[in-house]
Amino acid sequence: MSLVEEIEGARIIADRIANVQPDEHVLIVGDWRSDEVTERLATAVHTLDAEASVALMAPREYDGNEPPETVAAAMGEADVIILVPTRAIAHSAAASQALEEGARVVAMGKLSLEKLRADGLRVDFEELAPKVREMGDLFSSAETARLTAPNGTDVTFALGGREGNGLTCTVSEPGDFTVAYCAEANVTPVAEGTNGWIVFDGSIPNLGIGMLEDDIVVEIEDGSVTSIDGGQEARKVERIWAEYDDPAVRQAAELAVGMNPKCTELDGGFINDHGVFGTVHVGFGTSSNLGGETRTPLHFDITLQSATLELDGETVLEDREFKIPAFADQ
Strand order across the 184-187 sheet? 165-167, 184-187, 252-258, 280-285, 299-304
- What is the crossing angle of helices 35-47 and 2-11, to 10°? 60
Q: Which three-class secondary structure state does DSSP give residue 162?
A: coil
196 Rama sector, left if φ>0, alpha if ψ -120 to 50, beta otherwise: left
Q: Is residue 94 within a helix (H) or strand (E), and if so which, with residue range? A: helix 93-100
Is 0.75 topped by the overall pTM?
yes
Burial (Cβ within 10 Å: 0-12, 13-18, ≥19) of residue 259: buried
Distance CA 233, CA 236 (A): 5
Whether the CB-CB separation of 103 and 263 falls below 8 Å is answered with: no
What phi and psi values does residue 129 have, to the nearest 5 degrees? -55, -45
Whether 224 contacts 241, CB under 8 Å:
no
CB 157 within 8 A of CB 252: yes
In tens digits, the chain (330 residues) has pLDDT values of 589 999 999 999 999 999 999 999 999 999 989 889 999 999 999 999 999 999 999 999 988 899 999 999 999 999 999 999 999 899 899 999 999 999 999 999 889 999 999 999 999 999 999 999 999 999 999 999 999 999 999 999 999 999 999 999 999 999 999 988 989 999 999 989 999 999 999 999 989 899 999 999 999 999 999 999 999 999 999 999 999 989 999 999 999 999 999 999 999 998 999 999 999 999 999 998 888 899 999 999 999 999 999 999 999 999 999 999 888 765
The Cα–Cα gap between 80 and 171 comes to 9
DSSP per residue, 247-283: GGGGBEEEEEEE-BTT--S--S-HHHHTTBTT-EEEE
Strand-pairing partners, residue 199, are: 217
Determine how many CB atoms are found less than 10 A away from the CB of residue 176.
Answer: 18
pLDDT for 35: 87
CA separation for the pair 240, 221 (Å, rounded): 20
